[in-house]
Amino acid sequence: DAFEMGTPLFKQLLPLTESMPDAYLVPLDSDEFLGYFGPERPLSGGGAQVDAWRIQFDRHGLLDSFSECQQKDQRSHGRPGYYSMNGLNAQLCNESLYEKGRLNTRLARTNVIDPHDVDMFLRRYRRGCCGESSIDKKFVRAGNWNNYGMGGHALNTMNRASFSWSRIVAVHYGSLTKAQLAQKMEGHFVQTHWYKKLGLSLEQVRNVSHINAGRCRGSAFHYCMGLISLHRGEIKFTPCKSTLVSRGTVLMRSP
């Protein structure tokens, strides 16, 4: 995460609480970007909105979604000042690309979302406040920010208000090629020092299929078990739902 506790970037956020208290702090990873859901906008200006709600990415609509949160805060003296985005994992529907794709495959040009699949997002939004049970990422008014919650999906606030749902969507490149998945999982395995715990060299991390998964105990055990499963061939390509195949759109078109 970019805003890791104690890093220079994290510390640079502190002055914003005074200089720009009404700005929103929105933590994102490098493989995430923002959209919003709302009534479909006409392709050309001046027309009326379409009743159907969908996920969209135009700058004007995104700013409107943030303004909606700002207006709510202004009416209630800065409360909640704490909102949840709606997490959405894009998927890779091409099994051949999953098997044969390389490390440099452009995920935004291969991953697909269904822009019309907003029923759950809409129910959340209409419900409003829902407490602290969601794992979706949050954002906060700078003037209400206290510190960064460990794990990155929660932020500690000054007013301790429960979050409210917003129309903001955080899209994550949810599917990787097999080569990218292996690189990612091997990286986690090394970063969490499982190779040391299991007495392996860095070269041996390339194949841990022979390791007994029962030895994966303790903190971050899932990184250990996950890599073993991957190298054993137990992690398979997950086909996309028929609705995603028929209605899905690629996140970014090639120029």
Mean pLDDT, contiguous 10-residue spans, the chain (255 residues): 41 69 84 90 56 89 94 87 92 91 84 91 86 77 78 78 93 87 93 94 96 92 95 93 84 58
Distance (Å, rounded) from C-alpha 36 to C-alpha 13? 25
d(CA 24, CA 38): 20
What pLDDT, on a 0 to 100 scale, did the predictor assign at position 6?
39
The whole-number pLDDT of residue 217 equals 93
pLDDT (0 to 100) of residue 5: 38
* Cα 57 off chain centre by: 15
Return the ∠ at Cα 115 (arms to 113 and 121), rounded to 5°.
105
Residue 2 pLDDT: 37
CA distance 231 to 254: 32
pLDDT of residue 63: 94
Q: How far apart are CA 70 and CA 197, in angstroms?
A: 48
For the whole model, what pTM was predicted? 0.73
Q: What is the pLDDT of residue 18?
A: 73
Contact 111, 251 (CB under 8 A): yes
Which residues, 6 or more positions from 183, have their beta carbon under 8 angstroms from its beta carbon? Answer: 103
Residue 47 confidence (pLDDT): 54
